[in-house]
Amino acid sequence: SLALPDDSCEWSPGETVEIWWDVPELQLGDLTVNENGCFESVFRLDSEVIGASSASAHQVEARGSTSGTSTREFEQVNPQLILLPMQGAPGRVVTAQGCNWDGADTVEISWVEEAQVIDTLSVNGSGCIDSPLKMPRIKSGLVTLEAESNNALNSAAAYQVFVPALELTPPEGPADTHVPAGGCNWFPGEVIEYKFALENQVIDTGGTNGLGCLAPNSADGSTVFIPAETPAGEYVIQATGLTSGLRAKTDFEVVERSLEFDPPEGLPGETVAVQGCGWVGNASVDIEWGYPDTNNQTIVWNAVVDVQNGCFGVTAPFEIEIPPNSITGPLLQTATGDEAGTATAEFM
């Protein structure tokens, strides 16, 4: 609405004053000056009245039938529909906010693509809306929402729907270990159930944070625990949000921890490459040589584990020098993780 008081009161009593909008030029209405040479009125400004007029500073002109003209600046603002957040899981409850709904009591929210009304929100005394709003449940894509008030004001906003995600890093590892997990587009604060999908065996539970992302569920962070009795092989791990009912799946291979030498034999003083995989949950691995040094002390090398693949010596080569006092024959070498697990290998 546009309130037009005139403080100067210098109009001719009884004359007619026309009120004009600048762009597009149109007459908003007219009024009659009172006996004191003043006027005051309120004009409705909505899409039906000012059409394609843009939100900016406009010049409103009063044209008196006998007293000439007077111009005042008026700042046009459009009603707002703001969704917080603007993207996330299907069916999620977001916050619908926005002001400049002056003169309205309610705002109807419609899902444009389906021509479906999904909610009606109340406008507060400040001309604003601020209410929870449940998003449509679609697999993925863009949801366009249109807001229209009971006095014909309107606005629109979009919500990007993403499918929930589950990612295990690395995608393979041994049994009896916590595998780092990530993924967003779940409902905020919901419980996540993990299971071997084909076996229908629940193996762990976790949760999401306020952003709808997988949150830390143990001292190891956000993880999925692979039970100790799980045989080696390929598995499909499914995550299910117990509030949203949303699901996501990913492949995971249960492997044994390994220790390998390349070549598997050598002479004292020679250099050999060492590598191993299946060391998820460990930051490093100690490799103990199967024969002590000349002072009868254990010989140990420390290899750093790559968190992306759970291996050492693969992405970045790791080499050791065969101790000069090593005896001839097969020696049993042992690798021990700094957190859990061991593996052995013979070196000739």
Mean pLDDT on 225-237: 95
| Residue range 130-135: mean pLDDT, rounded | 95
pLDDT above 90 (res 67):
no
Which are the contacts of 335, defined by CB distance < 8 A and separation ≥ 6?
Answer: 257, 259, 276, 285, 286, 287, 288, 342, 343, 344, 345
What's the one-letter identity of residue 25?
A: E
Which pLDDT value is given to residue 70?
87
Question: Following DSSP, what letter does each residue of 230-251 receive, concatenated?
Answer: PPSEEEEEEEEETTT--EEEEE
What was the pLDDT predicted at 1?
47
pTM check: above 0.95: no
Residue 46 — very low, low, confident or very high, per pLDDT cuts 50/70/90? low
Q: What is the pLDDT of residue 265?
A: 93
Tokens describing residue 316? 């970045």
**Listed residue (98, 5, 103) closest to 46, CA to CA:** 103
Q: Rounded distance, CA 244 to CA 259, Å?
A: 43
DSSP summary character for residue 327 = P
- Distance between CA 299 and CA 261 in Å, rounded? 16
What average pLDDT does the structure give for the chain?
89
Which of 298, 278, 303, 274 minimizes the C-alpha distance to 288? Answer: 298
